[in-house]
Structure 1
Amino acid sequence: MTFSVWLTIAPLLLLLSLGPGPNNFTAMHNGIQVGATKAVIAVVGRNLAFSILMLVSALGLGAIIVSSEFWFGVVKWFGVAYLFYVGIKTWRSAAVVLEEHENEEGAKAKKGHFTRMRQEFLVAIGNPKAVLLFTAIFPQMLDLNQPVSMQFFWMGLTFCITEFIAAYIYAMSGKQIRRLIRSTKGMRNLNRSMGSIFVMASGFLAMATRA
């Protein structure tokens, strides 16, 4: 994977990492409770789960990607549809305020790095959307003229790094975001903004080719 290609892929992976979801809300909650540094350390658990899911996905993707133009198109449009679906669902999702999320996850973050890592791991490994992400989005970033395994490695490593960045942003901004989404209107505006971004990302992927 060339550096220029990586520069194109990295922003999209960062965008995907920044999307609101269970793990990022967990990082935000941990940031509020124990600070950004401890919240980011806990992301080791999240990335361990994602690494397992990426490995499982990669083992069966190579043959699909190189088999034919048809199957590349199938995977490509599945990815476009998935991002579009996420965008629409995020836009239309119920305006759930932060306090309700905290009631589901527990009112207080548990003490200890290992406990928070385990929490992040369980949230990530139990999210089926992660599998869809790695099987539907990653293939469209591959250059079939280069070794597929190394490209998966670098994309996976980059994705793990962007997860740390996303967690840091959510953890550092926890108190500000909390004030923003304390009201139903604030959460609705956040959902609509992120939903629009995902829909635009689906349009970007729709233009992708194998070349």
Structure 2
Amino acid sequence: MQFSLWLALAGAGALISFTPGAGAINTMSNSLNAGFRRSIWGILGQQAALVVHVVIVALGVGVLVASSPVAFNVIRYAGAAYLIYLGVRQFLSKPSLEEEQAAALRNESAWSIFRRGFWVNLLNPKAIVFFLAFTPQFIRPEQPLLTQYAVLTATIVAIDILVMWFFFAAAARSFQRFTQTPRGQLVLSKVFGVLFVAVGILLALIH
């Protein structure tokens, strides 16, 4: 991949990552609940789903999903339902400052955080459709495809990790003071719950 083309790819990847969405909301929520450092597990889960999306597109399966209303809608509604479930659960959660319960929240297993991030990104068929439109701009058919897809994937993943961790997860740290009081915890739970539900509804309604 030519350096100029790679720079364009990096710029586009940065713009995509800075666009708020379910992944950004999940990252901020993890940063608040599990801590800044441990939020990386959710980010890595999201990247694993991103890699799956690129592989699906590279194999041509993405074309089938994009052209099949039934397949697309099944995945779309499943993803919307999962985000709404996360939002409702967060919205209804009760504030707690007791040490044991706070420790349990912060000690959520890395696998659990990773798995949630994975499903948040994977159950988004619009990501497949997006990559169908996005990847051809940076792939040259006359050149080795495997190398090009590897460079594209590595670039997008690296940029997204940096943006998610050092922007969205770091930004959530400014809200840490709210977690010190029951009222603050309640407000944050409501806010992030509503955001998850809103993104889920948009995913279900916007075509």
- TM-score of the superposed pair, with normalisation by structure 1: 0.60
Q: In structure 2, how many angstroms separate the alpha carbons of the residues matched to 1:5 and 1:140?
A: 9
Query: Residues 109 and 101 of structure 1: is their aligned pair in 2 closer, same or farther, counting only changes over 3 Å?
Result: farther
Length, aligned pairs only: 149
Q: Which residue of 1 aligns with 2:58?
A: 58
Q: Which residue of 2 aligns with 1:124?
A: 121
Q: Which residue of 2 aligns with 1:146?
A: 143
Q: Which residue of 1 aligns with 2:170?
A: 172
In structure 1, what residue type is equivalent to 2:115? Answer: R
Q: In structure 2, how many angstroms separate the alpha carbons of the residues matched to 1:173 and 1:101?
A: 24
Q: Which residue of 2 aligns with 1:44?
A: 44
Q: Which residue of 2 aligns with 1:19?
A: 19
Aligned partner of residue 42 in structure 1, secondary structure: helix
In structure 2, what residue type is equivalent to 1:161? Answer: A
1:60-95 CA-to-partner distances (Å, cap 9, x unmatched) read 28xx9xxxxxxxxxxxxxxxxxxxxxxxxxxxxxxx
Q: CA RMSD in A?
A: 3.4
Aligned partner of residue 173 in structure 1, secondary structure: helix
Q: Which residue of 1 aligns with 2:6?
A: 6
Asked if structure 1 preserves the Cα contact closer than 8 Å seen for 2:35 and 2:106, the reply is: no
Aligned partner of residue 43 in structure 1, secondary structure: helix
Deviation at 1:116, TM superposition (A): 0.3
- TM-score of the superposed pair, with normalisation by structure 2: 0.61
Gaps of 5+ in 1: 65-99, 185-211
Deviation at 1:144, TM superposition (A): 3.7
Gaps of 5+ in 2: 64-83, 94-104, 179-187, 192-207
